[in-house]
Amino acid sequence: MFSKHKPTSVPADHTVSPPASSYTAPSRDEPRSGNGRPATIGAHTSIEGSVVGEEELIIDGQVVGTVEFKRNTVSIGNDGRVEGDIVAQTLNVAGSVEGRLIASHKITVHHTAQITGTIITPCLVLEDGAVFQGNIDMDAENDVLRAAFGGSVSTPAPQSYAQHDAEPQIDDDDADESAQAETQREENS
């Protein structure tokens, strides 16, 4: 019924080249920019004032002011620096930030990050080696978070998703994580 076909093996000296860029496609539940590539503030660029957009943003330069990409991911590269508030769906910080980091979904603080300020998000990943000085609020019902996103904050639990025209798609891993989070909440109550 089933044939036992052995797959061909890859020679031991075979190497796979890394991708041409460090850009990774957004997950299926994150909005994409029109051309599929993120907007970039280059390493030799400095901006003073508000930066607002509806696409992914990578900051490798310096921004003094507010960064607001409420429906997308903002990533601050190793040499990136932001002095001001950042509001995004998802934040990845590897550089330096002074101000409030507000994310409706998740904030990841990488080991090279240096942050002074306040982190407000329902989900936080803080890597060993990151330097953080300030406050953290992970309450999905936080007034600042609700005001920034109009009351629509996405959390890992399915019942906490904002109502949209269509139900959010949840894969098996997300469902397992949601069930575990709900079980932990019930145990803590």
DSSP classification of residue 13: T
And the tokens for 37? 């590539």
So what's the pLDDT on residue 149?
87
So what's the pLDDT on residue 175?
52
Range among 76-85, 132-141, 166-175 rated most confident: 76-85
- 98 backbone dihedrals φ, ψ, rounded to 5°: -125, 110
DSSP classification of residue 160: G
**168-186 confidence digits (pLDDT tens):** 444 455 555 555 555 555 5
- 75 backbone dihedrals φ, ψ, rounded to 5°: -120, 130
- CA-based nearest residue to 117, from 98, 136, 143, 138: 98
Mean predicted confidence (pLDDT) in 71-91: 97
* Residue 36 pLDDT level (bands cut at 50, 70, 90): confident
b/e map 50-76, b = 16+ CB within 10 Å: ebebebbbbbbbbbeebbbbbebbbbb
Mean predicted confidence (pLDDT) in 152-157: 55
The residues with which 101 forms a beta bridge, in sequence order, are 86, 119
Task: Please tell me the least confidently modeled range out of 2-6, 29-33, 51-55.
Answer: 29-33
Position 6 pLDDT exceeds 80: no
Residues 6+ apart with CB under 8 A from 60: 40, 41, 42, 43, 77, 79, 80, 95
| Contact criterion met (CB below 8 Å) for 153 and 162 | yes
Mean pLDDT of the chain: 77
